[in-house]
Amino acid sequence: MSVKRELRSDSARLNEFEDKLTYVRLTRFLLALRRQARAREVDIDEELDARIVGITMDRYALNLVNLCIDDWVGKKKWAALEHATGLLVEMLHLLWYPSP
């Protein structure tokens, strides 16, 4: 079996909703963990902190969250919508309350 065919068969098994929801949940958890560590004044490596901000606050991530919110409102997936709006709130906290 060629690599191209194998990739096609693997991508057919992906569940777009579940993959997006997993991304949203994981990112929300990590941003909340970072925010709480900052509030408790836990020492965080500055380089690691800058990477976290850079990875989670790029144009792709923000666009993905907005598309998920639009899509899940239309499909009435309220539990998933709660996670997506929670991630958006965490992203806004990251912008509104920058690192000291």
Distance CA 52, CA 47 (A): 9
Reported as a single tens digit per residue, the pLDDT across 1-19 is 455 455 455 545 557 888 8
Q: pLDDT at position 53, please?
A: 76
Do the domain assignments include residue 27?
yes
Is residue 8 included in any domain, yes or no?
A: no
Kindly state whether residue 6 falls inside one of the protein's structural domains: no
Domain that holds residue 51: 16-96
Model pTM? 0.74
- 37 within a domain of the structure (yes/no): yes
Count other Cβ atoms within 10 Å, centred on residue 15. 9
Say what the pLDDT of residue 99 is. 59
Element (H, E) at 12: helix 3-12
Residues of the chain with pLDDT below 50 are 1, 4, 7, 11
Count structural domains, the chain.
Answer: 1
Residue 50 lies in a domain: yes
Do the domain assignments include residue 46? yes
CA 39 and chain centroid, separation = 21
Which pLDDT value is given to residue 100? Answer: 57
Both tokens of 8, joined, read 């096609």
* pLDDT value of position 81: 94
Q: Tell whether 2 is covered by a domain.
A: no
